[in-house]
Amino acid sequence: NTFIIIQDNMNACSGNPLIAGFISNEDDLGIEGVTVNINTQGGIGQDVMTNLNGAFALNMTLGEDYTVAPHLDENPLNGVSTFDLVLISKHILGATMLDSPYKIIAADANKSNSVTTFDLVEIRKLILQVIPTFTSNTSWRFVSSDYIFPNPSNPWEAQFPEISNYNDVNSSMLNVDFVGIKIGDVNGSAAVNLLGSNEERSVGNLVLNTTDHNVSKGEEVTVEFTAKELDVLGFQFTLNFDADVLDLVDVVGGVAGEENFGFTKLDE
């Protein structure tokens, strides 16, 4: 994909001027499906949606004041995995710091203006489907693209602009751009278009071992899972069983405790 910007240098075009821009992620990939609310000082507002390339545009009236506010709160699990938990944990411990203010904002899952273990708990609950959405945050946040963070290692040192205001507009505004931040996704794996899918991230296989059992009706059996190699920073999987013939009675913790499992899909 490429872009062509056409400028009316000789004022040959007729019609109302435009307020327009692009919304993209930190890697300059346009984000589709963002609702952009454009309000005037008189309170008259319109919503436009970004297209496949993350672009939006709306006719405007000269001399008005405008507020532009993007919003997207869909598919909170988009791009969120255990790998993100590993990277956020390293940041909290000071082992490997997140290298941009946008990634640090993405790590702040509970919107507390800090990155702590509470964010890890929130993201883990989301992955395990204990909660359907972030409890105090939206799926995406947006920062005006021309904003420069005074302290990139602490993006909350000053309040960053999540909307853009323009007063007494007397010509087209064609660079009303924003950077989209997918909350919980600090490795940039979130899909940015409505038809896209997440890229699977893996660095190898972890073999879990257990013993075959012949089980009689009414019998309670303990199934132990072990692994010869556990030199891993994190792993994520789904365990299936036939819910028509088996019931899960209890989970006895080992390396992973009961809090590491989600049980909302047991009936499925």
SS3 of 179-222? EEEECCCCCCCCCCCCCCCCCCCCCCCCCCECCCCCCCCCCCCC
Q: Stretch 217-236: mean pLDDT, rounded?
A: 87
pLDDT band at 53, cuts 50/70/90? Answer: very high
Q: In what order do the strands lie in the sheet with 18-24?
A: 55-59, 18-24, 178-182, 140-144
pLDDT band at 197, cuts 50/70/90? Answer: low
Q: What are phi and psi of 165, to 5 degrees?
A: -115, 140
Cα 45 from Cα 205, distance rounded (Å): 52
Per DSSP bridges, beta strands 178-182 and 164-166 are: unpaired
Per DSSP bridges, beta strands 140-144 and 45-49 are: unpaired
Higher pLDDT, 12 or 18: 18
Cα 256 from Cα 53, distance rounded (Å): 42
Q: Which of 267, 215, 214, 222 is nearest to 243 (CA)?
A: 267
DSSP E strands in the chain: the ranges are 18-24, 35-40, 45-49, 55-59, 66-71, 140-144, 164-166, 178-182
pLDDT attached to residue 159? 96
Token digits of residue 90: 């390293």
Its sign, for the CA torsion 176, 23, 8, 58, is: negative
pLDDT band at 236, cuts 50/70/90? Answer: confident
DSSP secondary structure letter of residue 131? S
Token digits of residue 88: 């956020």
Q: What letter represents residue 27's amino acid?
A: D
Question: If phi over 0 gives left and psi between -120 and 50 gives alpha, with beta otherwise, what is residue 62?
Answer: beta
Cα 206 from Cα 235, distance rounded (Å): 8
Q: Stretch 133-147: mean pLDDT, rounded?
A: 97
Cα 225 from Cα 46, distance rounded (Å): 56
Mean pLDDT, the chain, rounded, equals 90
Q: Stretch 17-44: mean pLDDT, rounded?
A: 91
